[in-house]
Structure 1
Amino acid sequence: MTEKDNAFHRIFEVVGQPDSEVPPTPITSPQPLRELESSPETEAESPKRGRPRGKKSDPEFISAIAYIKKKTHLQVKRLLLDKEEQGEKQDFSELVQELLEFWVQLQQGEEPKTLIARFSDSQKSKK
Structure 2
Amino acid sequence: MQEVEPGAGADPVGLSVKVSQVAYGLDPARAFRRRGLPVVSGATHVPRAPEIFLGRADCLGIGAFGTPAPDCAAGLVTDELNPEYRCDKADMAAMPLPRCDLHSKDRAIAGVVQTGRAGLSSAASAT
Does TM-score exceed 0.5, indicating one fold?
no
Could you say which structure has the larger radius of gyration? 1
Q: Structure 1 length as normaliser, TM-score?
A: 0.26
Question: Could you say which structure has the higher helix fraction?
Answer: 1
Q: Structure 2 length as normaliser, TM-score?
A: 0.26
Kindly indicate whether structure 1 or structure 2 has the higher relative contact order, using CA contacts under 8 Å at least 6 residues apart: 2
